[in-house]
Amino acid sequence: MKQLKLTGFLFFFFLTESLTLPTKPQDVDDVSITQKFIEDNIGYITIIAFAQYIQEASFEEVEMLVKAMTEYRDKCLADMTLPECSKLANDVLLENICTMEGLPQKHNFSHCCHKADFERKHCFLHNKKADVGFLPPLPTLDPEEKCQTYKNNRESFLNNYIYEVSRRNPFVFAPTLLTAAARFEEMTKTCCEEQEKANCFRTKAETFIQYLKALSSYQKNVCGALMKFGPQILKSINIAVLSQKFPKIEFKELISLLEDVSSKYDGCCEGDVVQCIHGRSKVMSHICSKQDSISSKIKECCEKKIPERGECIIYSNKDDRPNNLPLREAKFTESENVCEERDADQENFMAEFLYQYSRRHPELSTPELLRIAGVYEDLLRECCNMKNPPDCYRHAENKFNETTEKSLKIVQRECEHFQISGKDDLKYHYLINLTKLAPQLSTEELTFLGKEMVTALTTCCTLSEEFACVDNLVDLVLGELCGINENRSINPAVDHCCKTNFAFRRSCFEGLEADKTYVPPSTSQGLFTFHTDLCQAHNEELQRKKDRFLVNLVKLKPELTRVELQSLLVNFTNVVKKCCQAQGPEACFKEEVLPALFPLKSNWYSWSNKRNQNSP
């Protein structure tokens, strides 16, 4: 159930505290505690910001900036009246990045340094690359070597870890990365005491990786919504999530909390790590100072010292629905004055509707709650122009049920497909579908998305909360596909689904077919050239190569049917098995691969074979 709680309430991810944050009771001034945290962790914070903004930067370059920012901190702690100490921390950071000799030219961000203030920050944000295929593989150390490195130099070990993770996760919020670093250190300490170190790291790392991946997906999804659709959609997401989590919260109190919550995403989504950390602390203080009116489930959490309370709130159960809460709120469907109330303050009226509907329906996903709100808004737009509006909107519940029924059928169909097909066939299904829909994406992105779709179904399809779980997780996958930047473009059909309506993008993608505008590459680009390293790949690595092969095959021959593609994948698997048992695997691959893959496409096969023979 932890997976469900994480995905259902990931909104609170940035409330977790970490590393050296002072462990003082809750009644101490949170502003001073947060400031102390920033001062103590200036090195970690600098690494995160620099590695996320300039992912190509070396660890040595990052260390140079850490030194500069530490000197800046010490100077300002000694004399806060200095002119440079009145600047915003993120502005100081970007200034230092821009003044590092030769760095802007080396890593191609000089154009950002020529801008100022908001334009500069926005430029650096757009410099971030979600697809990190250009980076070398994440360095791996032997468990014994890892433990010895940690023992010899803890600070350098953790700095390097934060650097490597941050540059590969450029949109993950700083507090999440700091919490991940604390968990990583805890895991390292524990496993280095074990006899079976490798097994310990392997077991604990899986949970740790899932934690970071889930939070990363949610953060990118919400920031993508903010950047593509503006602050109103962010407010709606937060209303739905908070109202489900805290159903006894009063609407007025919810709006007050939202002012703190929504404004914090600006800093977090823009990569302003200091503003993000300050915002996190302010939200925590708000929740715990009003816990009696917000939730009965967080009292013990708020009594904990600061490092533990965020995690406690994340994993706390949804509060019980108030006993006096009727199944329906008559104000929105049975009142004679619905149109007048809407017209008086449409934004507040729709916010209250979403709040009331969400707190009554903990079984629905966040996207579904937003769909219901959208259906209600469209219905009122129609009804309030009629002679007798009440006769029209009294049937709103029927519209809501129809909307949920459509979404439920999509989820049921997917889960039935999973139960019939099994994990591997399901993955191939999504790899083929996604590649046909968006062949412009990189092979790495497509294999990742296919795997995430399968994870969503294998995680959720056997749970009682199947609908909300699947719908929430699949929405995160679509968020990954659509990306975070508002100017990301894939192809006209996909762009339309990503940018037209956040709540209904799932149903939009359901109706898409293969991209008609895609022009496949004119050559196989070495796709059918294999070497002996294929025979040395372990099961997991071999599976990754097969997945990549399938995606590249679809990119090259998008007109092939699913049956043809899966048949060719079976042929490829058989060839690998045969050639890896042969005396000369590489010669075998050259002789066997093309005939096995294209037995019925003799013309195309002859062209490819001739090209391969002529290649150096």
Task: Give per-residue pLDDT as tens, 63-85.
Answer: 999 999 989 889 888 888 888 88
Residue 13 confidence class, pLDDT cut points 50, 70, 90: very low
Residue 18, token pair as written in the block: 């970490």
Enumerate residues 6+ apart whose C-beta is below 8 A from 63: 159
User: What string of DSSP letters covers 14-25?
Assistant: GG---TT-----
Tokens of 356: 């009331």
pLDDT at 232 over 70: yes
The pLDDT value given to residue 599: 62
Give the pLDDT mean for 239-258. 93
Q: For residues 336 and 142, give the distance between their C-alpha atoms in angstroms, rounded to a whole number.
A: 71
How far apart CA 168 and CA 162 sit, in angstroms, is: 10
Kindly calculate the radius of gyration of the chain based on its CA atoms and give it in whole angstroms: 27
From the number of C-beta atoms within 10 Å of its C-beta (0-12, 13-18, 19+), residue 353 rates as buried
For residues 32 and 417, give the distance between their C-alpha atoms in angstroms, rounded to a whole number.
Answer: 54
For each of the domains in the chain, give its residue range(s) and CATH number, in order of start: 25-166+178-191 (1.10.246.10), 519-601 (1.10.246.10)
Q: Are 427 and 451 in contact (CB under 8 A)?
A: yes
* pLDDT tens profile 567-592: 888 888 888 889 888 888 888 888 88
Mean pLDDT of 104-122: 93
pLDDT at 16: 34
Contact predicate 283/313, CB 8 Å: no
Residue 290's pLDDT band (cuts 50, 70, 90): confident
Q: What HEC string does 182-217 produce?
A: HHHHHHHHHHHCCCCHHHHHHHHHHHHHHHHHHHHH
* 425 annotated to a ligand binding site: no
Q: Quick: pLDDT tens for 371-415.
A: 999 999 999 999 999 999 999 999 999 999 999 999 999 999 999
Instruction: Give Cα separations from 42 to 49, 160, 280 (angstroms).
Output: 11, 15, 17
Q: How far is CA 38 from each of CA 19, 42, 80, 125, rounded to the nearest angstrom?
A: 11, 6, 16, 22
What would the pLDDT profile of 41-60 be if each residue is shown by its tens digit?
A: 888 999 999 999 999 999 99
For the cut 90, the answer to whether the pLDDT of residue 202 exceeds it is no
Contacts from 340-346 at CB under 8 Å and sequence distance 24+? Answer: 342/380, 342/384, 343/384
58 DSSP assignment: -
The answer to whether the CB of 434 falls within 8 A of the CB of 509 is no
Res 29: pLDDT: 53
- Quick one: tokens of 433? 């579908």
Confidence of residue 416 (pLDDT cuts 50, 70, 90): very high
| Least confident piece of the model among 123-127, 157-161, 378-382, 591-595 | 591-595
Confidence of residue 1 (pLDDT cuts 50, 70, 90): very low
> Smallest Cα–Cα separation from 604: which of 613, 614, 594?
594
pLDDT over 50 (residue 21): no
pLDDT at position 305, please? Answer: 61
The proportion of the chain whose per-residue pLDDT surpasses 90, expressed as a percent, equals 51
pLDDT for res 6: 37
The DSSP secondary-structure symbol of 78 reads H
Q: Which amino acid is at 252?
A: K
Residue 319 has pLDDT above 70, yes or no: yes
Residue by residue, DSSP assigns 559-586 as TS-HHHHHHHHHHHHHHHHHHHTSSSHH
Q: What is the mean pLDDT of the chain?
A: 86
Q: How many CA atoms lie within 13 A of 502 on its CB side?
A: 28
C-beta separation of 475 from 225 below 8 A: no
Q: Report whether 215 contacts 176 (CB < 8 A).
A: yes
pLDDT digits (tens, 9 = 90+) for 456-481: 999 999 888 899 999 999 999 999 99
> Looking at 24-28, 310-314, 341-345, which range is the least confident one?
24-28
